Amino acid sequence: MTDFLMLMWKPFLACLILTGMHVYLGLHVVERKVIFVDLALAQIAALGAVVAVLFHHDLRGPYGYMFSLTATFFGAVIFSLTRTRRERIPQEAVIGIVYAVSAALAILLLSRTAEGDEHIRQMLIGNILLVTPHEIIHMAVLYSLLGMAHWKFRDQFFRISTEPETAFQKGLSVRKWDLLFYVIFGVVVTSSVQIAGVLLVFSFLIIPAVAAMTFVRTIKNRLIFGWAMGTFTSMFGLMLSYRLDLPTGATIVCVFGGVLVLLSIWQTMFYHR
């Protein structure tokens, strides 16, 4: 038990911080019906880091972070501009195209490096076991500041997420608020992907939010439900990874999926009584 705590306390703290911010953002993403925007922005961030690698910078170093952040900013601009009041093309289609092209381009660029396969693996599932106290503190401070911004403008953000037509009718500058939302979202995703990888970040964002919206109605209760699910799922995933000597990030993603399946089965049985 002591060995487990010595090895996993930093990854567990990182998971708690990821849960705190991503569950909240996940509620917005699911309400907007742009489920894969996280994958797209995460992949854009990863593509920026790949470009940094081509310039001989570390994937998780400061230059890798700045390249990722710059790329994500351009992604935020694209997604804010492609949301219109009367969409001829669903925004989810644009998001899917951006994800596919970014992923393919990252693979092409990494094929030119000696450690391309390892970089692709790290890009997808990260290595949360290697998270450092400095990275944990950086995430905690950054997400706290961004969370305060969301709290200050919560009415505007929730209005454009849950009632976009009403926002348009009341003259709210939806495009500007969308841009601010996606910029904040992009900063969070960029920081998270460096530590946890694309798939784990997606799981923290979407799965607890989907489960919470299935079982409870109010924003407050959805947050509590999602935070509880993220915390206990992370803990169980870390324990399973340690006991079975499995890759930590991939194990947590699979546990998230398994918990969601069990919750879905329970809900089906409950409503069929």
Rounded mean pLDDT of the chain? 84
- For residue 266, what pLDDT is reported? 86
Tens of pLDDT, residues 39-77: 888 888 888 888 887 787 776 677 778 888 888 888 888
Within 13 A of 126's CA, how many CA atoms are on the CB side?
32
Tens of pLDDT, residues 110-167: 777 766 666 666 666 777 888 889 989 999 999 999 999 998 988 888 888 888 777 7
The CATH code of domain 2-271 reads: 1.10.3470.10
Residue 61 is classified by DSSP as S
For 238-258, b/e burial (b = at least 16 CB within 10 A) is bebbbeeeebbbbbbbbbbee
- For residue 87, what pLDDT is reported? 66
For 94-125, b/e burial (b = at least 16 CB within 10 A) is bbeebbeebbeebeebbeeeeebeebbbbbbb
- For residue 59, what pLDDT is reported? 64
- For residue 273, what pLDDT is reported? 45
Q: What is the rounded average pLDDT of the residues 84-99? A: 76
Tens of pLDDT, residues 2-38: 777 788 889 999 999 999 999 999 999 888 887 788 7
- For residue 210, what pLDDT is reported? 92
CA distance 209 to 47: 26
Exposed, middle or buried by CB within 10 Å (0-12, 13-18, 19+), for 202?
buried
CA distances from 56 to 113, 115, 243, 266 (A): 10, 12, 37, 50
Residue 59 is classified by DSSP as T
